[in-house]
Chain A
Amino acid sequence: MDAPQALADLVEISAQIESAVLARADGTVLASTLADEARAGAVAQEALALLEAARGPAGDPTQVEAALPDASFFVVRDEERLVAAVTGRDPTAGLVFYDLKTCLRMAAEEPVAAKNAASGPRRRKKKEDEEAVEGDA
């Protein structure tokens, strides 16, 4: 699934999310619900800055929720992308995090599938064959 479709699905399934930005790990915007590209870029950069500033003894954070009196700002990242979202006040954080992680997973699906198709038969098949031979012996 491409990034714009993953983000469109996110805002469709999550009634709590008011706006969201999907970006590469370096902050390059892949898709956004914001009409203004410059603002989408700024949100992605602030999301990166928040992840950087939240780094602690346990390493790099994977999820952050900043709850302010009138709204909350969420950031979730994986190895290649991050997604930032704005909700109203007092969101159900667990549900929002779940939806954001689903969005990241869906955005990553197509490249992984294409990579597997391009690399031919998977190594696991060979391993399974070896186990079958061992089983027969």
Chain B
Amino acid sequence: MRRLAGFLVAVGSLLGAAALWRRRAGKGREHVDVYFADGSAVTFDEGSEEAARLVPIARRALEQAQG
């Protein structure tokens, strides 16, 4: 019984660490969120054709703003 509890704790810890890692990795990635007047929204993730078009514009704006 004690061994089973230890196994479950170990598996839970691994799953928690994996979820945390995925969350942190996801936060750092490039993406563009676009919202429209009708309430719809779309996310363009890194690697998409739209992100490749939009991200350079945002990067230029950041360069100007941050000097």
In the complex formed, the residue of B with least CB distance to A61 is B34
Name the one of B31, B32, B40, B66 contacting A71, with C-beta atoms under 8 angstroms.
Answer: B66
> Looking at A18, A19, A61, A67, which has the most chain B CB atoms within 10 Å of its CB?
A67
B35: chain A residues at CB < 8 Å are: 61-64, 97
Q: Do the beta carbons of A62 and B37 come within 8 Å of each other?
A: yes
Determine whether B1 belongs to the interface, using a CB cutoff of 8 Å to chain A: no
A21: chain B residues at CB < 8 Å are: 65
B42: chain A residues at CB < 8 Å are: 56
Q: Do the beta carbons of A54 and B32 come within 8 Å of each other?
A: yes
Kindly provide the distance from the CB of A83 to the nearest chain B CB, expressed in whole angstroms.
Answer: 13
Q: Do the beta carbons of A53 and B53 come within 8 Å of each other?
A: yes
> Looking at A56, A73, A84, which has the most chain B CB atoms within 10 Å of its CB?
A73
A37-54 vs B: 1/0 string, CB under 8 Å?
001001100110110011
Contact-residue size bin, chain A (C-beta under 8 Å from the other chain): 35 or more
B38: chain A residues at CB < 8 Å are: 58-59
Q: Do the beta carbons of B30 and A67 come within 8 Å of each other?
A: yes
Q: Given the complex of chains A and B, what is the CA–CA distance between A63 and B42 in angstroms?
A: 11
Q: Do the beta carbons of A65 and B28 come within 8 Å of each other?
A: no
Q: Do the beta carbons of B58 and A43 come within 8 Å of each other?
A: no
List the interface of chain A (C-beta within 8 A of B): 18-19, 21, 34, 36, 39, 42-43, 46-47, 49-50, 53-54, 56, 58-69, 71, 73, 84, 86, 89-90, 93, 97
Ranked nearest first, the 5 interchain pairs of A and B with the lowest CB-CB distance are: A66-B58, A46-B61, A58-B36, A63-B35, A42-B64
29 examples of A-B residue contacts, CB within 8 angstroms: A18-B65, A18-B66, A19-B66, A21-B65, A34-B65, A39-B67, A50-B57, A53-B53, A54-B54, A56-B34, A56-B36, A58-B37, A58-B38, A58-B40, A61-B35, A62-B37, A63-B35, A65-B33, A66-B30, A66-B31, A66-B54, A67-B32, A68-B30, A69-B30, A71-B62, A73-B62, A73-B65, A86-B65, A93-B33
